[in-house]
Amino acid sequence: MLITVTYLPIYNEFNFNNNFLIFLISFISNTFSAISGGGAGLIQLPALILFGLPYYQALATHKVATVALGLGGSIRNFKNLRKDIYILWQILLFGTPGVVLGSSIVKFLYEQYLYLILGLISIILAIYSFRKPDLGLNSINNIINSRLELKFITSIFFIGILNGSVSSGTGLLVTILLIKTFKMDFLRAVSLTFFTVGIFWNAIGAFFLSRIGSIPINLLVILVLGSFTGGYFGAHLSNLKGNKLIKKTFTVVCLLVGVSLLIKSISFLM
């Protein structure tokens, strides 16, 4: 996979403190993302934009870095994937075309409307998770009929489109969709999300977005390091503390992502 990279001139002047700040932002955002099942773009993407990157370039850079997050989280939770190989292939088979479509048409879409829709969905998910105290705490074998399976793969396709065009929140959507459809617990759902969305979806999205704007290699190296270590550390905490920690983090991250996206949407109109 060929991804265009470039050296960012403004970044040449940054000192050790700035490098460490970027790493810290990446590590913290990806640690919380690894626990909740998504939301790394809540902090990491705005930070890249503040450092001078245009939106599409920042989005491509963020997606490459979140591939490292997916690797870090998946290495720690790889054993949890064995029982869900069939679901894993469904996510890849039906979600990947959506990612390709979303990444290809992102420059033609009105970002404010995407932010508005995804922001409202994220806030609704936070409220729903808060009002369902037992949601995702236990995993049971749910019987899936053809209608429910069709609903799942259709939802995966449309979430894939959002993943290709908007950075924040799509991992959270996949996580909650897995919990609701297959009655998974959070740890099992997050493990699937990071292997499929974190690695494959984001890698494909980064490839197509890099054709719009090149990726600054000097920032990318630091972000990849922060994303990988944050992903591994977050997955480690999830295994130590269990589904209650994941559920609480998921609820908080959903709410913060939703509010952040709504603010972005409103800012476009001002």
Output the CA–CA distances (angstroms, integers) from residue 144 to 86, 91, 150, 184, 190, in the order listed: 12, 15, 10, 13, 20
Rounded CA-CA distance 218/265 in Å is: 30
- The reported pTM is 0.79
Q: Do the domain assignments include residue 73?
A: yes
Residue in 89, 46, 44 with CA at minimum distance from that of residue 66: 44
Q: Is residue 9 part of a domain?
A: no
**pLDDT value of residue 158:** 93
C-alpha R_g of the chain: 17
Question: In angstroms, rounded to a whole number, what is the distance separating the alpha carbons of residues 200 and 182?
Answer: 21
Helices (H) and strands (E) in the chain, counts: 11, 2
pLDDT for residue 212: 62
**Cα separation, 74 vs 187, whole angstroms:** 11
Q: How many domains does the chain have?
A: 1
- Separation of CA 192 from chain center: 12
The DSSP code sequence of 88-112 is: HHHHHHHHHHHHHHHHHHGGGS-HH
Give Cα 54 to chain centroid, integer Å.
20
Res 190: pLDDT: 86
Domain membership of residue 8 (yes or no) is no
Identify whether 192 is part of a domain.
Answer: yes
Residue 6, in any domain of the structure: no
Q: Looking at the domain assignment, is residue 135 inside a domain?
A: yes
Residue 204 domain flag: yes
Question: Buried b vs exposed e over 8-38: b needs ≥16 C-beta within 10 Å?
Answer: beebeebeeeeeeebbebbbbbbbbbbbbbb
Question: What are the b/e assignments for 212-243, b being 16+ CB within 10 Å?
Answer: bbbbbbbbbebbbbbbbbbbbbbbbbbeeeeb
Res 178: pLDDT:
92
Query: From CA 169, how far away is CA 149, in angstroms rounded?
Result: 22
- In angstroms, the first-to-last Cα distance of the chain is 39
Instruction: Assign 264 to helix, strand or coil.
Output: helix
In a domain, 4, yes or no: no
- Amino acid in position 27: F
Residue 214, domain extent: 14-269
* pLDDT value at residue 269: 66
Per-residue pLDDT in tens (0 to 9) along the chain, 270 residues: 445 544 444 444 456 677 788 889 889 888 887 787 777 777 787 777 777 777 667 777 887 888 887 887 777 767 777 788 899 999 999 999 998 888 777 667 666 777 787 788 888 888 988 888 887 788 777 777 888 899 999 999 999 988 887 766 788 889 989 998 998 888 888 889 888 988 888 888 777 766 665 667 777 888 889 988 988 888 888 888 878 888 888 888 888 878 887 887 787 666
Residue 11: per-residue pLDDT:
46
In order, the DSSP letters of 18-64 are: HHHHHHHHHHHHHHHHHHHT--GGGTHHHHHHHTT--HHHHHHHHHH
